[in-house]
Amino acid sequence: MKRGAFLRFAGLLAVYLVVALPFKAMNLIPGFSDIRPVTAVGMFYGVFFGPLGCLASACGNLAADAFDDAIRWTSIAGFAANFLGPLLLWAYWTRVSRTPFALRRPGEMLRHSLAVAAAALLETALIAPAVAIVYPEVDAVLFAWSVFGNTAVFPVILGIPFTILLQEELGFRPCTGPRQDPGAR
């Protein structure tokens, strides 16, 4: 990895952990699910830092599990989901959408919210079955709802205003493809 990319990755990972760790104590299903406002950060990483941000989100989730002594076999599904969810959002805005990423109008916010919901469904589809298979004592339906709720609600309620602030006021530019510098500000 180039030094600049490594430093960017390390910075993204540190920010992820600073946001994630304080909320690890707010368990929904002890040892399996907690309140996770950090999911807003993961989606932001996907849009503004591309695949590197998606990797930082996945590694941050794994590291947060390690700090909380919650590494399980299902952490592999969590790693995959926390990479692929933000990657889906990045792919939507860089490959599918015919308009540049912006959240200035209600229609753009709605499209972004629908893309976030699709990413939340993907993450739920990866994590919930893994937990249901490996840990049959966990209420699979409640767990699936907690995963979907965390990954759909926080990126919309917290992520949209945060994204608007960073894009409009601080000049962050979305990662629009492999040729653009993914961390350009």
At residue 12, the pLDDT reads 95
pTM of the model: 0.87
User: Phi and psi at residue 137, in whole multiples of 5°?
Assistant: -75, -15
At residue 49, the pLDDT reads 94
Tell me the pLDDT of the chain averaged across its residues. Answer: 87
Terminal C-alpha separation, the chain: 20
Higher model confidence: residue 71 or residue 97? 97
Nearest to 58 by CA among 41, 35, 34: 41
- For residue 34, list its beta bridge partners: 27
All structural domains of the chain, each given as residue ranges with its CATH number in brackets, are 3-24+37-169 (1.10.1760.20)
pLDDT in tens, 129-182: 999 999 898 888 988 999 999 999 999 999 999 999 988 888 888 886 544 444
